[in-house]
Amino acid sequence: MPGRGDNLDGYVLDNMEGAVDLAAFLARTDTPVAIVGARGTGKMYIARIFHTRAGLSPDTLVAIDCREFRNRDDANRRIRHALQGGAGKTLVFKSPQLMSADAQLRLARQIATRQVLDSEPPTYLPAMRFVALFPDSLSNLLASGELQPRLASVFAAYPIRVPPMRHRQQAILRWAHKILAQECALRNVVVKGFTPEAEQALREHPWHGNISEIRQRVVHALERRPGGAWLTPVELKLALGDRSRSAGVASPLRRRDRETEGYTPSALEELRQALADLLQQCVHNEQALPLGSWLQDEVVLAALGRYAGDSGLAASFLQVPRRKLSRWRPGIEGRQAQRSGCAAWVEPARLVTDWVRGLGQGGNSPLDEAEALLLTLLEDCREQATMAQRADLLGVSRPTYSRRLQAQGHAAQAVAHG
């Protein structure tokens, strides 16, 4: 099922640089279609256009979230079930590059041959349509080793590219007003719109998170606005002129974004830079914010949001016992006012949500990855901050900080030596 962030039905003033027209054209064929675009660009929206223009009812579009497959066998089992029940439907595979290589190859063979594998006698698939949503071009995913060539070839005939918002600036305000109307209706509140200054800030912001980021910022503004009839740049957190550049931390994100026109940073890259900026600000102002605790809080909240509050699924995703998650929740709720009261924390919190939403199953725990990221950034500041300051920022004692630093060093050595 599409999430609230995909609720864009009826909004067609933005042709997405031809993506809408191409989807409508390809709907006349039964060719497997790849929809390519960075996070939050509206790929699922294009998939629904492809589906409905084919004359199919909305309830016959089936989204298969490949991020949720625990392993190869789970992927094969769930895909087999979807294929066998797919008559007259459109199957939309979200992020299939996250599946194991074997699962990708198996899916590719079944789509290419239109047969269910390992069935006796051979069983042909009923008539259905196939769509895959990819976060980057097929060539880039192939080059990185994430996508198997055979699966890429299945979807390579007529890829639909959904451009980022920075290439659709004429549509930014349209999306913003549409989303504002949707969110106001959900909350039963009345907001007249954006101030002229807010509209200017909306037009100038790079929108690396695309439509999803617009929604996140509007939601945040509505939840925390003082009750005015108009939303301002401050409420949208777009007044970024006072953010300091990290003097002691390299900024490949900004450099690459300037030099590579087609480059869109990942949520993790943006999160790293946002945390680096905040750390620099804390060190410069000698401000001891418990960023480690806050970061853990946001990862847990993002996992709960990803699974609509289901603590069992969230605990499995985070790789922690469910009872431990239950023990954490009172503390997380108790720190909510402190986190919300820090304006500089709004952007890292938003990016944690984006990052967690895009992760697949398996691998390291997101909690461990987040702490490792923060610990690395803290060590980048070691010439400017004492051990005691760095421990305070991680939210632990000095001995605990030393132990975690040592553990991270051992883990890095283990990876380096295979």
DSSP SS3 for 335: coil
Q: What residues contact 247, with CB distance under 8 A and at least 6 apart?
A: 280
**Closest among 283, 249, 291 to 385, alpha carbons compared:** 283
pLDDT for position 391: 93
pLDDT for position 242: 41
State the SS3 of 164-218: CHHHCHHHHHHHHHHHHHHHHHHHCCCCCEECHHHHHHHHHCCCCCHHHHHHHHH
pLDDT for position 239: 65
d(CA 39, CA 264): 9
Which domains are seen in the chain, by residue range? 4-161 (3.40.50.300), 165-231 (1.10.8.60), 252-416 (no CATH)
Query: At CB < 8 A and 24+ separation, what contacts does 241-248 make?
Result: 243/277, 243/281, 243/344, 244/277, 244/280, 244/281, 244/284, 245/277, 245/280, 246/273, 246/276, 246/277, 246/279, 246/280, 247/280, 248/280, 248/283, 248/380, 248/381, 248/383, 248/384
| Distance from the first to the final alpha carbon of the chain | 40
Question: At residue 21, what are phi and psi to the nearest 5 degrees?
Answer: -65, -40
Produce one character per residue of 136-167: b if its CB has 16 or more CB atoms within 10 Å, e if not: bbbeebbeeebbbebbbebbeeebbbbbbbee
**Closest among 255, 245, 244, 175 to 215, alpha carbons compared:** 175
If you average pLDDT over every residue of the chain, what do you get? 87
pLDDT tens digits, 37-87: 999 899 999 999 999 999 999 999 999 999 999 899 999 999 999 999 999
| Percentage above 70 pLDDT, the chain | 88
pLDDT tens digits, 77-110: 999 999 999 999 999 999 999 999 999 999 999 9
What would the two tokens of residue 166 be?
Answer: 């920075």
d(CA 93, CA 114): 16
d(CA 282, CA 378): 11
HSE-up of residue 377 (Cα within 13 Å, Cβ side): 27
pLDDT for position 262: 60
Neighbours of 10 (CB within 10 A): 6
Grade residue 417 by pLDDT with cuts at 50, 70 and 90: very low
Produce one character per residue of 34-61: b if its CB has 16 or more CB atoms within 10 Å, e if not: bbbbbbbbbbbbbbbbbbbebebeeebb
